[in-house]
Amino acid sequence: MKIEASTLRGYGPYLGLEIYSGVNAFGSPCLVALHRASGNLSDVRCAPAPADLMMDVASSRDGFEGFEGRAGDGIIRFVLRDDTVDAYVYLIPEAG
C-alpha cells in the first residue's frame, strides 16, 4: 500500500486520531489514521476508484481505551467523499 508522500493531505485530529488521505502506487485513494498519543499507525485502507473508501478504527487498538473524550468500546467509521472525510461514531452500549 505504498502511499505517495506528495499526495498526503491532512484533515486534522478527531477523537485522538490524525486523519490523512493520499494515493497509493496503483493510483487508488487511501485513508490513514494515526493514533496521536502513541504515534502508531491505527489503520490504512485503500480502494480503487470509483469504490467508496471507508475505514473503521476500533477504540481498543494501539493500547488505548475509548476515544479521546468518549469512554467505551466502539468504532469510528471514516468515509472519504471528494475532498472531505466524514466521521461516524458507533459506541457499544455498556452492559447494565
How much is the pLDDT for 42? Answer: 85
Total-model pTM: 0.83
Measured at the alpha carbon of residue 37, what is the angle toward residues 46 and 3, in degrees to the nearest 5?
25
Cell, residue 33: 489514521
Q: 39 pLDDT exceeds 60?
A: yes
What number of H helices and E strands is found in the chain? Answer: 0, 7
- Residue 63: pLDDT band by 50, 70, 90 thresholds? very low
- Residue 90: pLDDT band by 50, 70, 90 thresholds? confident
How much is the pLDDT for 67? Answer: 65
Q: Could you tell me what percent of the chain has a pLDDT over 70?
A: 82
